[in-house]
Chain A
Amino acid sequence: MIKKKMTTSVLALTMATGMLLAGCGGEEKAATKDTKKAATKSDEPVTLQFWDENAGPARTPVWEEVIKRFEEKNPNIDVEYVGIPNASAKSKYDAAIAAEDTPDIGSVQTTWLPEFSIREALLPLDSYFKKSDISKKINPSATGVNKKITQDGKLYGIPYAQNLDALWIRTDWFEQAGVKEPKTWDEFFTVIEKMRDEANNRYGFTIRGGAGASFTIQRAMFAYSGLDFFDKNGKTNINDPKHVEFVEKYFSYYDKLTPKSDITNGYKEMIAGFDTGVVAMVHHNPGSYGEHNKALPAGSYKLIPLPTTEKGQYVAEGGNAVNLAIFKSTEHADEAWKFVEFVNSEEAQSYWNQQTGQIPTNSDVLDDEWVQDAQHIKTAFEVYNNPDTKLYEPPFYLPDYRAILDGVVDPGVQAVMSGKMSAKDFLDEWAKAIEDSKAKYDQTFKK
């Protein structure tokens, strides 16, 4: 009897679970059918899912406001915002692409574009862009880089904000010490020494040794040498003697004239060091303006460009931008483009970039009053608009470019800082990883 009862219970439980699963699945399928239907009639409501790759207290409310403004202008389009924490964003996109369950629109970093396009996850936007008014406004060098790095030379992302590595400095300390802002790398190294104040536990500079160290050292190296990423023969310049000389000197300051904790410094620690009055200079970009603004008195800090090369040239990394991309799986490509177009309009870009402290790519925004008043944005513009500024282009198209930075360069930086590896060995290892990857890439795509 009990046996019978138990069997019945188990069966009932199994059926209930099955029904629950089927029910939920059914609902989802029904919803998909409904949206497909909606796509056929343009006046019917459409819901677009938008993934933000850098959600946080500063950006999420800004996106929500941009979406609100878009929806007011397009009452039949709803944009569903999904904020993804920056550190996990790439893995989340990877899983979604592998499972073919991508959003309609995504905010994607330039370095991801080549890989996502090779995996056929993105929709080429060339024809949409060509027909749109924004094509005359968006910084051509930023869209140019996006095309150049993809295997088929198509435009897969529209850059709505760009960035530039620079130095944040404590102007009040510089004034007190009678030290001038560094313009060349030699002056930069001298300032590190001059600004060390043992009595007040102040350091001249903080070195990024933890997460993201690879980006900082790469941008600093090329800003020092002014070299291209590859030479004429296709060999990388990563381990050029100029870079060896720079890396040796740069890391020799660690633990003598910069804090001991630098070896694990990520963004947060570095900025905390600057904002809590421990360091006089930090290598970052205009994006941390909000943090400095909260922590430091106005007028006590400012953004200056990275020092120039021996020839007096500014060097910036091409492709240091963030883009809106439309995923191939979307059933509402036209509506998705409307959103991309809106985000890149003067109104939306001006609002978004002013709130987040990033550099707009729409040329109409440059005349806005807030840009004229924002010292950090103006400085960044001056560098980008300087006719002598050189853009070097890292090989974002290599599928394992990012893996090399994370797996070879980040630990390599720590090995050099802790004295376990010489600068030369580190750069040789980095160069070999890049060259092996490029050889594989060239072989596969017969370039």
Chain B
Amino acid sequence: MFTVNKKVDKILTLYLPLTMLLSFTIFPIYWTLNTAFKPEGDIVKRPLQYIPVNPTTENFVAAWTNVGFATFFKNSLIVGVFTVIAVLICSTLSGYALSRYQFKGKRSFMLMLLCTQFIPRAMMIIPLFVIFKNLGLISNPLSLIITYTAIEIPFTTILMSGFISNVPKELEEAAMIDGCTKLQSLRHVVFPLLLPGIVATGVFTFIYTWNEFLIALMLTNQQSKFTLPVGLSTMMGEFSINYGALAAGSVIALIPAVILFAYAQKHLVNGMGGAVKG
């Protein structure tokens, strides 16, 4: 009797809410997948098809070749990878400084870093446009890499300083007693222990650049330089939406993020745990 009650309790308090949550989260993704594999006529047909009756891959072909997703994908990848590299270098070094050194104005500096996160992105558009126009960087991926790096650094610096604080100072000191220089102790002792934090920061940065729309739209005046979110939005006209190709494009856009999370999941959990503890 007791075991039955325990089982019911577990179902009611654990499995049921988790199943509800999961179905709530997964349904839109499932519907996108479902739509991506339906021919145009079946998408708006009634009764609704919960499983494609005439499955087709033509939407993927249309999105990839006709709409130019291959180019948008490549552009997003370039911007994402270089932004992650730049953000990781800057935020690891500045995070180390914030974590290990005491200096005048450290608290105010951190407060200022936090404050930059409250500036609405839309407010920055015109100044950014003017700056990059003067630099001749409109429609150049470098403008996006620089902007995203600048936007992400304050938050990731604070994040990294949390991870670094979690690595005992004594380990560095021990390495230095063993003959390591400061930089060698950083490279051989601190960085390997920081890996989960670095992965977590990198993943967050990549996802931000992968999804960002407004700045990418404003700083790009050439179709061939559009990133994925901008490319996706051009598939929704005022009076027409290519639902099939849009869904297929969204699935394509999802793939790198899913792969990234699948590989980084372990590090991500460890990393976030570290940040919270730190």
Mark A residues whose CB is within 8 Å of B: 2, 6, 20-21, 24-29, 49, 54-60, 80-88, 91-92, 95-96, 98-101, 103, 267-268, 272, 275-277, 287-288, 290-291, 294-295, 356-357
Q: A88-B217, A288-B239, A295-B44 are in contact. Are A28 and B222 (CB under 8 A)?
A: no
Closest residue to B213 on the A side, CB-wise? A88
Question: Which 4 residue pairs are nearest across A and B when measured between Cβ atoms?
Answer: A56-B237, A25-B136, A28-B136, A58-B240
Evaluate contact between A21 and B135: CB separation under 8 angstroms: yes
Evaluate contact between A56 and B129: CB separation under 8 angstroms: no
Evaluate contact between B44 and A55: CB separation under 8 angstroms: no
Evaluate contact between A56 and B44: CB separation under 8 angstroms: no
Evaluate contact between A82 and B223: CB separation under 8 angstroms: yes
Evaluate contact between B142 and A86: CB separation under 8 angstroms: no
Neighbour of A83 across the interface among B41, B126, B218, B234, CB < 8 A: B234
Chain B positions 53-74 with a Cβ under 8 Å from a chain A Cβ: 67
Neighbour of B44 across the interface among A2, A6, A276, A357, CB < 8 A: A276
Evaluate contact between A26 and B46: CB separation under 8 angstroms: no
- The complex places the Cα of A132 from the Cα of B130 at a distance, in Å, of 37
24 contacts between A and B (CB under 8 A): A2-B183, A24-B137, A26-B136, A27-B136, A56-B239, A56-B241, A57-B245, A58-B240, A60-B234, A85-B230, A85-B233, A92-B217, A95-B218, A96-B129, A99-B126, A99-B130, A101-B138, A268-B241, A272-B44, A275-B44, A277-B46, A288-B239, A290-B240, A294-B44
Evaluate contact between B129 and A81: CB separation under 8 angstroms: no
Chain A min CB distance to B77 (Å): 19
- The complex places the Cα of A138 from the Cα of B206 at a distance, in Å, of 51
Chain B positions 134-183 with a Cβ under 8 Å from a chain A Cβ: 135-138, 140, 142, 181-183
Kindly state whether residue B221 has any CB partner on chain A within 8 Å: yes
Closest residue to B183 on the A side, CB-wise? A2
- Per-position binary interface string of chain B over residues 98-139, scored 1 when its CB falls under 8 Å from any chain A CB and 0 otherwise: 000000000000000000000000000110011001011110
- The complex places the Cα of A99 from the Cα of B138 at a distance, in Å, of 11
Q: A24-B140, A80-B222, A83-B223 are in contact. Are A59 and B237 (CB under 8 A)?
A: yes
Chain B positions 232-249 with a Cβ under 8 Å from a chain A Cβ: 233-242, 245
Contacts of A28 in B (CB 8 A): 136-138
Q: A57-B245, A92-B217 are in contact. Are A21 and B46 (CB under 8 A)?
A: no
- The complex places the Cα of A88 from the Cα of B70 at a distance, in Å, of 23
Give chain A's interface secondary structure class. helix
Evaluate contact between A57 and B221: CB separation under 8 angstroms: no
Evaluate contact between A54 and B238: CB separation under 8 angstroms: yes
Kindly state whether residue B40 has any CB partner on chain A within 8 Å: yes
Chain A min CB distance to B133 (Å): 5
Residue among A49, A83, A85 with the highest chain B CB neighbour number at 10 A: A85
Contacts of B222 in A (CB 8 A): 80, 82
- The complex places the Cα of A46 from the Cα of B142 at a distance, in Å, of 27
Evaluate contact between B217 and A294: CB separation under 8 angstroms: no
Known A56-B240, A80-B222, A95-B126; further 14 A-B contacts with Cβ < 8 A: A26-B136, A56-B235, A56-B238, A57-B240, A57-B242, A81-B223, A83-B234, A85-B217, A85-B230, A85-B233, A95-B129, A101-B129, A290-B240, A294-B40
Closest residue to B40 on the A side, CB-wise? A294
Contacts of B182 in A (CB 8 A): 2
- The complex places the Cα of A15 from the Cα of B157 at a distance, in Å, of 24
Evaluate contact between B239 and A103: CB separation under 8 angstroms: no
Contacts of A268 in B (CB 8 A): 241
Contacts of A101 in B (CB 8 A): 129, 133, 138, 221
Residue among B44, B182, B234 with the highest chain A CB neighbour number at 10 A: B234
Chain B min CB distance to A326 (Å): 17
Closest residue to B219 on the A side, CB-wise? A95
- The complex places the Cα of A99 from the Cα of B137 at a distance, in Å, of 13
Neighbour of B239 across the interface among A82, A91, A287, CB < 8 A: A287
- The complex places the Cα of A80 from the Cα of B181 at a distance, in Å, of 56
Chain A min CB distance to B216 (Å): 11
- The complex places the Cα of A81 from the Cα of B226 at a distance, in Å, of 13
Contacts of B239 in A (CB 8 A): 56, 58, 267, 287-288, 290-291, 356-357
Closest residue to A25 on the B side, CB-wise? B136
Neighbour of B237 across the interface among A26, A29, A57, A80, CB < 8 A: A57
- The complex places the Cα of A335 from the Cα of B41 at a distance, in Å, of 42
Chain A min CB distance to B188 (Å): 14
Neighbour of A58 across the interface among B45, B135, B137, B237, CB < 8 A: B237
Evaluate contact between A91 and B133: CB separation under 8 angstroms: no
Closest residue to A287 on the B side, CB-wise? B239
Chain A min CB distance to B64 (Å): 14
Residue among A25, A81, A82, A267 with the highest chain B CB neighbour number at 10 A: A82
Contacts of B235 in A (CB 8 A): 56-57
Closest residue to B246 on the A side, CB-wise? A57
Evaluate contact between A29 and B136: CB separation under 8 angstroms: yes
Neighbour of B234 across the interface among A80, A85, A96, CB < 8 A: A85
Evaluate contact between A24 and B136: CB separation under 8 angstroms: yes
Chain B min CB distance to A294 (Å): 7
Chain B min CB distance to A212 (Å): 9
Contacts of A92 in B (CB 8 A): 217-218
Evaluate contact between B41 and A54: CB separation under 8 angstroms: no
Chain B min CB distance to A201 (Å): 11
Contacts of A356 in B (CB 8 A): 239
Chain A min CB distance to B62 (Å): 9
Contacts of A60 in B (CB 8 A): 234, 237
Closest residue to A61 on the B side, CB-wise? B66
Residue among A96, A100, A356 with the highest chain B CB neighbour number at 10 A: A96
Chain A min CB distance to B67 (Å): 8
Evaluate contact between B136 and A2: CB separation under 8 angstroms: no
Chain A min CB distance to B191 (Å): 16
Contacts of B240 in A (CB 8 A): 56-59, 290-291
Q: A25-B135, A92-B217, A101-B138 are in contact. Are A86 and B183 (CB under 8 A)?
A: no
- The complex places the Cα of A85 from the Cα of B234 at a distance, in Å, of 5
Evaluate contact between A24 and B238: CB separation under 8 angstroms: no
Chain A min CB distance to B66 (Å): 8
Closest residue to B141 on the A side, CB-wise? A24
Contacts of B44 in A (CB 8 A): 272, 275-276, 294-295
Closest residue to A13 on the B side, CB-wise? B89
